[in-house]
Structure 1
């Protein structure tokens, strides 16, 4: 879908369970950028921690059966990341600020 964007006013907003400043989050944003058309570059990016859906957790446990090392690691990461508490009021305030700044950026062009 990202490869087919034709509007050059692109802002990327990514949610994930990981810490937004983690290597995984940074790599996720870079992967999203890599999916854009070759002549596009995002005018702004925003990473926000989000909750892991019950469906995603269910799929993880189907893929990695109980007792499997990967299952333990994945479940601990989900629990320890605190993702279930996100997005919270602070996250929402940050994204609101991001959206306002990006909107102003568009108006000023």
Structure 2
């Protein structure tokens, strides 16, 4: 849960973190290896940003075997949800290329075979 807007805005102020959140919102749930492929960034960089997003209360994760999947935290309050929905609506184009890269990978489990 985000109790104050400050951590939310700090978390979204970085371009990589904003793209990660928008990508997750577009897909619902995304694996770390899918994010590295979609954004063309290293796994350590993606993981560092995901850790900050988790600490800020924006994301939740789940492990499935060797893969870790991220989604928006179900504990987000209504204010944070509204901000994220508006951000996604107006800035969805920020992840168009990333979404195209994901589509080129196919669907799961094909994606997992390609990147993990």
TM-score scaled to structure 1, two decimals?
0.29
Kindly indicate whether structure 1 or structure 2 has the higher relative contact order, using CA contacts under 8 Å at least 6 residues apart: 2
User: Counting helix residues as a fraction of each chain, which structure ranks higher?
Assistant: 2
